């Protein structure tokens, strides 16, 4: 967090606008290329300005912020894991973000293995030698934290870009020494 | 070249050699291919044998597709575990016909659980009803036998009480007559010779006649009020056993209650403000004097329950084919351990001479005769509410009986 006293771009859900009113003819969807065009151009510019590591962190943090708002506005409070996963699956499918699966769930030991196929960020990308869904990592970690109240570190371990057809995310609870 | 060609043929036929054949060209690449295929085979075998914990480190489109399948199977496992833990909202959205079957199975489970829950609830309700019906039956039996006893007692006491009361009246007159005679002789004695006078005075003092004539009226009037009390109790017993009945009429219950309040205004006013919340009521088919008796008993109890000053609230309202009337007070309340007994005849917590213990049993019986229900709700220290539910029309198969 930067301590700018007067923020200009502080995010709020309202910023997404009234699409019914604003796009009566074009509707509330756009092409995936447009989304990716923005993503990858951002990535390029951020990397050039701040370096790779910082650019990745910015993407992770932006994903985290988005996930927090997404949980509050789309998923809604629930304490039941089954219900949470179901709502999330439905939302991700309905909004054409991806197809979510729970591969392994061991919340008692703070571990979760999730896969997302047809991921909005990476599916169909050329093969690269690294996982690219940093934004998704932050997004998922915010969802898990909002749901459970625990801090999660999320790492993508397989990605379309690494030749795998589904993205696989490993989520682990991290002890938060500051909060504890 | 033939070695490589043979190897490729074998591979195309699905046979993977354990190691690179000697003298094979592209030894390194072939070795890598064989290792890759062996790893895939190992992964697939584990999956086939149901071991979904074996990972595949390899990447690439082929490995990726297999890992997608693997992920689906593991997700299915997780979903099944969720179902086993009672989450019947899980639905499978892949694997085609399997999904349909799985989803309808989970749907059926959910339905079965709901049916079972409903059945259980019905059973519990039925059991409660049975229990309360049994209790009610017992209560009715008890009431009936005590009613008979009460009628007998009332009858036996009534006759002697009749002449006791009338004799007391006569006795009072006799006393007054005697006193007149005594006063007259007293005056005459003044004119008698000294010796007679002294003897008379002596006798009179010895017999304490002065006190006798003074005490006689008190004794008689105490006996008269005692006898009246006995008559009242007998009257209560009689109405309890319905020795006397009046005819069925159509009346407005609010008016009936209002006139009952009027007859007991003084007693009530000494203890409480009476608050009325009368609802719009249709005429009710009933025996009016019995209902007056019913509300009188409740109102008096309410007044008795209030120590110094409180509130008595009378509410009426219509509820479908019934009229609901309630009498609440801000009195002492009824302890939970005795609340089950208050409708019993002769049950009272009041000191001897103040309670007959018949008020509520009469009330209970009157309500029952009208095909209604009476309930009590009470909190010690806060107050009591008696709620009565009376059918507007006397029910056909349960006419207001005369015995
Ligand atoms: N409104 C009330 N508040 C508290 N106690 C009550 C009330 N009505 C009845 N009771 C209790 O129920 C008992 C039985 O009442 P009842 O049958 O009318 O006989 P009685 O009034 O002669 O005692 C009372 O002695 C009293 O303990
Ligand atoms: Mg009474
Ligand atoms: Zn990815």
Tokens encoding B131: 């229990």
Residue A158 three-state SS: strand
Instruction: Express each pLDDT in B91-118 by its tens digit.
Output: 888 878 888 999 999 999 999 999 999 9
| Cβ-nearest to B89 among A86, A103, A160 | A86
- In terms of average pLDDT, the best of A67-71, A116-120, B7-11, B352-356 is A67-71
Instruction: Express each pLDDT in B279-316 by its tens digit.
Output: 999 999 998 888 988 998 999 999 999 999 999 999 99
- Last residue of one domain, picked from the residues B84, B110, B139: B84
pLDDT at A94 exceeding the cut of 60: yes
CB B342 within 8 A of CB B334: yes
Specify the number of domains making up chain B: 2
- Last residue of one domain, picked from the residues B63, B84, B105: B84
Give residue B159's pLDDT band: very low, low, confident or very high (50, 70, 90): confident
Summary mean pLDDT of chain B: 87
- B300 alpha carbon to ligand 2 midpoint, in Å? 6
Give residue B273's pLDDT band: very low, low, confident or very high (50, 70, 90): very high
pLDDT at B397 exceeding the cut of 60: no
- B301 alpha carbon to ligand 1 midpoint, in Å? 5
Inter-chain touch A163–B78, beta carbons under 8 Å: no
| Cβ-nearest to A102 among B68, B78, B91 | B78
| Cβ-nearest to B64 among A83, A104, A166 | A166
Alpha carbons within 13 angstroms on the beta-carbon side of residue A66 total 14
Is residue B348 in contact with ligand 1, taking CB distance under 6 Å?
yes
Summary mean pLDDT of chain A: 91
Which residue did the predictor score with more confidence, A149 or B399? A149
Give the per-residue pLDDT at B240.
Answer: 61
Give residue B230's pLDDT band: very low, low, confident or very high (50, 70, 90): confident
Give the per-residue pLDDT at B186.
Answer: 84
Cα gap A71→A88, rounded to integer Å: 9
Beta-bridge mates of residue B318: B323
How distant is the Cα of B40 from the closest Cα of chain A, in angstroms? 14
Give the per-residue pLDDT at A180.
Answer: 36
Domain extent at residue B29: 2-84
pLDDT at B53 exceeding the cut of 70: yes
Is residue B345 in contact with ligand 1, taking CB distance under 6 Å?
no
Which residue did the predictor score with more confidence, A50 or B145? A50
- Cβ contacts of B33 within 8 Å, gap of 6 or more: B11
Tokens encoding A62: 């932006």
- Last residue of one domain, picked from the residues B59, B84, B109: B84
pLDDT at B12 exceeding the cut of 70: yes
pLDDT at B260 exceeding the cut of 90: no
Q: How many CB pairs under 8 A join A and B?
A: 60
pLDDT at B233 exceeding the cut of 60: yes
Q: Tell the burial category of A125 from Cβ atoms under 10 Å away from its Cβ (0-12, 13-18, 19+).
A: middle
Domains and CATH numbers, chain A: 60-179 (3.30.1380.20)
Average pLDDT score over residue span B132-153: 75
Which residue did the predictor score with more confidence, B150 or B199? B199
Give residue B394's pLDDT band: very low, low, confident or very high (50, 70, 90): confident
pLDDT at B403 exceeding the cut of 60: no
Is residue B306 in contact with ligand 1, taking CB distance under 6 Å?
no
What DSSP state is assigned to residue A118?
Answer: S
> CATH no. for residue B314?
3.30.565.10
Please indicate, yes or no, if residue B96 is contained in any of the structural domains. Answer: no
pLDDT at B142 exceeding the cut of 80: no
Give the per-residue pLDDT at B389.
Answer: 96
pLDDT at A55 exceeding the cut of 50: yes
Please indicate, yes or no, if residue B371 is contained in any of the structural domains. Answer: yes
Cα gap A41→A129, rounded to integer Å: 19
CB A82 within 8 A of CB A102: no
Is residue B355 in contact with ligand 1, taking CB distance under 6 Å?
yes
Give the per-residue pLDDT at B156.
Answer: 83
CB B378 within 8 A of CB B334: yes
Average pLDDT score over residue span A92-112: 91
Considering every ligand atom, which ligand is closest to the CA of B299?
A: 1
Average pLDDT score over residue span B16-21: 86
Ligand 1 atom closest to Cα of residue B332 = 4
Average pLDDT score over residue span B145-151: 74
Give the per-residue pLDDT at B241.
Answer: 60
Please indicate, yes or no, if residue B110 is contained in any of the structural domains. Answer: no
Give the per-residue pLDDT at A164.
Answer: 85
Average pLDDT score over residue span B166-177: 92
pLDDT at B140 exceeding the cut of 80: no
Interface of B with A in 78-107 (CB under 8 A): 78-79, 82, 85, 87, 89-91, 93
**A83, A90, A158: which to substitute to probe chain B, counting the most B Cβ within 10 Å?**
A158
Please indicate, yes or no, if residue B25 is contained in any of the structural domains. Answer: yes
Give the per-residue pLDDT at B396.
Answer: 46
Ligand 1 binding pocket mutation candidate from B302, B359, B366, B382 (most atoms within 8 A of CB): B359
| Cβ-nearest to B82 among A82, A103, A164 | A82
pTM value? 0.53
Instruction: Express each pLDDT in B338-391 by its tens digit.
Output: 999 999 888 899 887 778 888 898 899 889 889 999 999 999 999 999 999 999
Please indicate, yes or no, if residue B285 is contained in any of the structural domains. Answer: yes
Q: Which residues of B touch A80 (CB under 8 A)?
A: 87
């Amino acid at each position: 967090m930067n301590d700018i006293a007067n923020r200009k771009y502080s995010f709020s859900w309202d910023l997404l606008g009234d699409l019914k009113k604003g796009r009566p003819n074009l509707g509330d969807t756009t092409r995936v290329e447009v989304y990716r065009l923005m993503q990858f151009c951002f990535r390029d510019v951020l990397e050039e300005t701040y370096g790779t590591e910082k650019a990745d962190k910015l993407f992770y943090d932006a994903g985290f912020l988005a996930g927090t708002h997404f949980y509050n506005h789309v998923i809604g409070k629930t304490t039941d894991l089954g219900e949470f996963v179901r709502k999330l699956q439905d939302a991700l499918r309905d909004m054409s973000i991806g197809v979510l699966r729970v591969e392994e769930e061991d919340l008692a030991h703070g571990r979760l293995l999730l896969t997302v196929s047809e991921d909005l960020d990476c599916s169909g990308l050329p093969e690269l030698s690294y996982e690219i869904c940093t934004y998704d990592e932050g997004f998922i970690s915010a969802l898990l934290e909002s749901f459970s109240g625990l801090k999660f570190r999320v790492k993508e371990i397989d990605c379309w870009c690494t030749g795998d057809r589904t993205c696989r995310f490993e989520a682990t609870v991290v002890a938060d020494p500051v909060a504890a | 070249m033939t070695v490589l060609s043979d190897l490729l043929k074998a591979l195309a036929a699905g046979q993977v050699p354990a190691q690179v054949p000697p003298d094979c060209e592209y030894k390194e690449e072939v070795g890598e291919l064989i290792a890759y295929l062996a790893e895939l085979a190992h992964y697939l075998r584990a999956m086939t044998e149901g071991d979904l914990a074996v990972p595949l480190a390899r990447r690439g489109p082929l490995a990726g597709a297999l890992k997608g399948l693997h992920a689906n199977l593991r997700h299915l496992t997780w979903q099944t575990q969720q179902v086993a833990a009672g989450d019947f909202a899980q639905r499978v959205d892949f694997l085609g016909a399997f999904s349909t079957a799985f989803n309808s199975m989970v749907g059926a489970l959910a339905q079965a659980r709901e049916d079972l829950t409903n059945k259980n609830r019905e059973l519990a309700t039925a059991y409660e009803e049975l229990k309360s019906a049994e209790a009610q039956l017992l209560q009715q039996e008890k009431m009936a036998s005590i009613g008979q006893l009460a009628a007998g007692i009332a009858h036996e006491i009534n006759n002697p009480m009749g002449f006791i009361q009338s004799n007391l009246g006569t006795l009072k007159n006799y006393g007054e007559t005697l006193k007149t005679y005594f006063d007259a002789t007293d005056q005459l004695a003044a004119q008698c010779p000294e010796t007679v006078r002294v003897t008379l005075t002596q006798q009179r003092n010895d017999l304490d006649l002065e006190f006798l004539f003074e005490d006689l009226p008190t004794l008689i009037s105490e006996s008269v009020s005692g006898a009246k009390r006995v008559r009242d109790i007998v009257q209560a017993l009689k109405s309890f056993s319905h020795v006397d009945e009046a005819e069925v009429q159509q009346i407005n219950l609010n008016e009936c209650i209002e006139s009952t309040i009027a007859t007991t205004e003084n007693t009530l006013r000494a203890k409480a403000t009476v608050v009325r919340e009368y609802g719009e009521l249709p005429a009710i088919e009933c025996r009016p004097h019995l209902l007056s008796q019913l509300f009188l008993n409740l109102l008096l109890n309410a007044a008795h329950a209030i120590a110094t000053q409180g509130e008595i609230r009378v509410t009426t309202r219509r509820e479908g084919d019934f009229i609901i009337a309630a009498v609440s007070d801000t009195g002492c309340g009824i302890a939970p351990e005795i609340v089950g007994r208050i409708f019993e005849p002769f049950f009272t917590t009041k000191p001897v001479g103040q309670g007959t213990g018949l008020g509520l049993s009469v009330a209970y019986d009157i309500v029952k005769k009208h095909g209604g229900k009476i309930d009590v709700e009470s909190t010690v220290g806060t107050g009591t509410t008696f709620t009565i539910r009376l059918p507007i029309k006397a029910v056909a198969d349960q006419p207001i009986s005369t015995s």
